[in-house]
Amino acid sequence: MRANCWTGKQSVEVRDVPDPTILNRRDAIVKITSTAICGSDLHLYNGFIPTMREGDVLGHEFMGEIVETGPGVDNLSVGDRVVVPFPIACGVCGACERGLTSLCENSNPNAGIAEKLMGHSPAALFGYSHMLGGYPGGQAEYARVPFADFGALKVESDLPDEKVLFLSDIFPTGYMGADMAEVGPGDVVAVWGCGPVGQFAIASCFLRGADRVIAVDRVDHRLQLARETGAETLDYEQVSVPEALAEMTGGRGPDKCIDAVGMEAHHANGALHAYDRTKQAVGLETERPHVLREAIMSCANGGIVSVIGVYGGVVDKFPMGSFMNRYLTMRAGQCHVHRYMPKLLEHIRNGDIDPSFVISHRLPLDRAPEGYRTFVEKADGCEKVVLTP
């Protein structure tokens, strides 16, 4: 089959690779009909996630048709149309029973690697390093789905791929950002990052009744898309974000702050940006936590900071004094996609949201390298790239 493979820093290549096969009773094989490039894939592309190997199949946002099932899969049949969550979860461990499916205790065969970096291992992810399982991803013609009886969500034939594909990751991730922040009626929320996850965080805040959402970015087409969703916007290259947020909220700051950027944050302050880039280069930190610092310093006293942007290791100059003295709460995590998929599918069915609004580019799988370059450069108005095998 054809698959998009990681071949080194800022290098991907579509290759012929072996077809996937059933390995365990609860496996299924999915013929992929739509897949996508995620902002998290760019961390792999840019070389910030360790334990990648040349030839690894990328991609964790995909859906398609069941073409084969293992003998332990009794709720799916050949021909069923499914969306696959990006965390791989067994459904029966202690974490899964509590709905914490991105922390599944059984899916990562390489848990020991993750434990050395993080203390404990999260769940395995599709196409996202050997530290997180080494499973081939979904930017391919076919994919093996472990624990398919728990993970694969059946969807109706009348809903086109583009309306349901993002249930695999970015729609639930954006929604979980709002959920962890306990966004509700009357809240003023600031969202850093107007990429696809940030756009779904903004939309989710409004779905949950937020009074105002203030979106922070520097890319014109992303800020425009946020405005079309109903957000007020700030270009961080034009204003001091903490000062602007204070002014817009009567000096209090936003009730809730959502970091939808993560480890590769850019900062308008060239000296501060260079400081973090230098520390990354010499291995003294692994992230650029400008947004995290800014969200903490900007949040209202007693507020909540919700982190859905991906971080991979250690940060420097964490403003612990601000965090502790102002009774802030922080929640963070890879999304428990399985928990949110059914509810968000109902929102789609009811017409509350059409997730395809983030799609800017549609390409065949063989043009995946072009899609990665366009996405990482934010060129040609790129917001989200969907690939069709």
Which residues does 156 contact at the CB level (< 8 Å), separation at least 6? Answer: 81
Query: Tell me: the pLDDT tens digits for 282-335?
Result: 877 888 899 999 999 999 999 999 999 999 888 888 999 999 999 999 999 999
Question: 207 φ, ψ to 5°?
Answer: -60, -35
User: Within 10 Å of residue 368's Cβ, how many Cβ atoms?
Assistant: 25
Any idea what the CATH number is for the domain that residue 239 is in? 3.40.50.720
Q: Are residues 11 and 65 in the same domain?
A: yes
Contact 146, 18 (CB under 8 A): no
DSSP 46-95: TT-SSS--TTEEP--EEEEEEEEE-TT--S--TT-EEEE-SEE--SSSHH
What residues does 12 pair with on adjacent strands? 6
Q: Are residues 257 and 196 in the same domain?
A: yes
Q: How far is C-alpha 170 from the chain's CA centre?
A: 5
Q: What distance in Å separates the CA atoms of residue 129 and residue 107, rounded to the nearest whole number?
A: 14
Q: Are residues 128 and 9 in the same domain?
A: yes
Q: What distance in Å separates the CA atoms of residue 209 and residue 230, rounded to the nearest whole number?
A: 12
H or E stretch covering 11: strand 11-16
Q: Are residues 77 and 156 in the same domain?
A: yes
121 CB burial (10 A radius; 0-12, 13-18, 19+): buried
pLDDT (0 to 100) of residue 60: 98
- Does residue 65 surpass a pLDDT of 80? yes
Q: Are residues 208 and 289 in the same domain?
A: yes
pLDDT (0 to 100) of residue 334: 97
Contact 285, 276 (CB under 8 A): yes
3-state secondary structure of 219: coil
Any idea what the CATH number is for the domain that residue 54 is in? 3.90.180.10
pLDDT (0 to 100) of residue 280: 79
User: Within 10 Å of residue 136's Cβ, how many Cβ atoms?
Assistant: 22
Q: Are residues 252 and 179 in the same domain?
A: yes
Q: Are residues 316 and 210 in the same domain?
A: yes
Split into its structural domains, the chain has a count of: 2
pLDDT (0 to 100) of residue 297: 97
Query: Tell me: the pLDDT tens digits for 345-387?
Result: 999 999 999 999 999 999 999 999 999 999 999 999 999 999 9
Q: Are residues 56 and 155 in the same domain?
A: yes
Which residues does 263 contact at the CB level (< 8 Å), separation at least 6? Answer: 43, 48, 286, 287, 288, 289, 309, 310, 311, 312
Query: Tell me: the pLDDT tens digits for 247-288?
Result: 999 999 999 999 999 988 888 777 877 888 888 788 778 888
Contact 141, 389 (CB under 8 A): yes
What domain range includes position 178? 171-332
Q: What distance in Å separates the CA atoms of residue 23 and residue 41, rounded to the nearest whole number?
A: 26
Q: Are residues 163 and 213 in the same domain?
A: no
DSSP 180-211: HTT--TT-EEEEE--SHHHHHHHHHHHHTT-S
Query: Tell me: the pLDDT tens digits for 108-166?
Result: 999 999 999 899 999 999 999 999 999 999 999 999 999 999 999 999 889 999 999 99
Q: Are residues 215 and 326 in the same domain?
A: yes
Q: Are residues 107 and 191 in the same domain?
A: no
- The two beta strands, 361-364 and 385-388, are parallel
Q: Are residues 321 and 216 in the same domain?
A: yes
Q: What is the pTM of this model?
A: 0.96
